[in-house]
Amino acid sequence: MSGPRVRPTPIPGLLVVELPLPGDARGWFKENWQREKLVEAGLPDFGPVQNNISSNQATGVTRGLHAEPWDKYVSVASGRVFGAWVDLREGPTFGTAHWLEITPEVAVFVPRGVANGFQTLEAPAAYTYLVNEHWSPEAEYTFVHLADETAAIPWPIPLAQAELSAKDRAHPRLDEVTPVPPRRTLVLGGNGQLGRALAARWEDRADVDVMSRDQVDLADPASLAALDLSGYGTIVNAAAYTAVDAAETPEGRRAAWAVNVTGVAHLVEQARAHRATLVQVSSDYVFDGLAAVHDEDEPVSPLGVYGQTKAAGDQLVATLPDHYIVRTSWVLGAGSNFVDTMAGLAARGVDPSVVADQIGRLTAADDLAAAIEHLLTARPAAGIYNVTGDGEPLSWAQIAAEVFALTGHDPARVRPVSTAEYMAGREHVAPRPRHSTLDLTRIRATGFAPRDHRETLRERLES
Taking only the tens place, the pLDDT of each residue in 82-104 is 999 999 999 999 999 999 999 99
* Residue 345 pLDDT greater than 80, yes or no: yes
Specify whether 294 is catalytic. no
Residue ranges of domains in the chain: 5-176, 184-462
* Interval 315-334: pLDDT, tens: 999 999 899 999 999 999 98
We find that the CATH architecture of domain 184-462 is 3-Layer(aba) Sandwich (3.40)
Cα–Cα distance, 17 to 382 (Å, whole number): 24
Angle at 220 between CA 219 and CA 224, to 5 degrees: 100
Share of the chain above pLDDT 90, in %: 89
Q: Which CATH class is domain 5-176?
A: mainly beta
Active-site option among 73, 98, 127, 129: 129
* Residue 428 pLDDT greater than 90, yes or no: no
Predicted confidence at residue 211, as pLDDT, reads: 96
At 160, the amino acid letter reads A
Cα–Cα distance, 459 to 168 (Å, whole number): 59
Cα–Cα distance, 263 to 282 (Å, whole number): 14
Give SS3 for 1.
coil
Predicted confidence at residue 136, as pLDDT, reads: 82
Question: Pick from 5, 17, 2: which is nearest to 100 by CA?
Answer: 17
pTM assigned to the model: 0.86
Cα–Cα distance, 171 to 203 (Å, whole number): 36
* Residue 4 pLDDT greater than 90, yes or no: yes
Contact 229, 269 (CB under 8 A): no
C-alpha of 251 from chain center: 32
Specify whether 129 is catalytic. yes
The confidence band for 343, taking pLDDT boundaries of 50, 70 and 90, is very high
* Interval 349-376: pLDDT, tens: 999 999 999 999 999 999 999 999 999 9
Q: Give the Cβ contact number of residue 27 at 10 Å.
A: 6
Task: Give the chain's mean pLDDT.
Answer: 95
- Mean pLDDT along residues 111-139: 93
**Strands, E, within 348-461: which ranges?**
353-355, 359-360, 363-364, 383-386, 394-395, 415-417
Predicted confidence at residue 152, as pLDDT, reads: 96
* Residue 1 pLDDT greater than 70, yes or no: no
Q: Give the Cβ contact number of residue 135 at 10 Å.
A: 11
The reply to whether omega before 15 is within 30° of 0 (cis) is no
Looking at residue 121, what DSSP letter applies?
Answer: E
The reply to whether omega before 182 is within 30° of 0 (cis) is no
- Mean pLDDT along residues 248-254: 96
Residue 72's H or E segment, with its range, is: strand 72-87
